[in-house]
């Protein structure tokens, strides 16, 4: 299977499971990853991020293939901005 077909088959849910597995060293069912599984899964996570990560977090790979590192201040500002967008105005129907 070529890389493009492989990446097209990875759903956001599968990506999240793989990301969690790389971070914790365990599959969602609790089984430990072997060293080879961890290496391959980490490579898939990075490949997926290069195609789909349009808003890189603190330490990720952007869609341009570049490693993205954000400062704590940038992350706080981004989080604050996202919270402002998500907030719903309250009605004053008293």
Domain segments of the chain as ranges:
3-86
Instruction: Please enumerate, as own/partner, the contacts of 83-86 that have beta carbons within 8 Å and a separation of 24 or more.
Output: none
Position 90 scores a pLDDT of 56
The model's pTM is 0.56
Position 7 scores a pLDDT of 85
DSSP tag of 30: S
Q: What is the pLDDT of residues 45-93, one digit of tens each?
A: 888 888 876 555 556 666 676 766 666 677 677 667 766 665 555 555 5
Evaluate if residue 19 carries a pLDDT over 70: yes
- Determine the 3-state secondary structure of 28 from DSSP: coil
Cα–Cα distance between 29 and 14 in angstroms, integer? 13
Spacing of C-alpha 57 from chain mean position: 8
Evaluate if residue 2 carries a pLDDT over 80: yes
For residue 29, report the phi and psi dihedrals to the nearest 5 degrees.
-80, 0
Position 26 scores a pLDDT of 94
């Amino acid at each position: 299977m070529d890389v493009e077909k492989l990446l097209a088959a990875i759903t956001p849910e599968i990506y999240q499971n793989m990301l969690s597995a790389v971070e914790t060293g365990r599959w969602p069912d609790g089984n430990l990853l072997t060293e080879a599984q961890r290496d391959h899964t980490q490579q898939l996570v990075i490949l997926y991020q290069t195609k789909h990560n349009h808003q890189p977090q603190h330490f990720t790979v952007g869609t341009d293939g570049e490693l993205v590192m954000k400062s704590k201040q940038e992350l706080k500002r981004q989080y604050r901005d996202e919270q402002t967008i998500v907030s719903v105005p309250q009605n004053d129907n008293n």
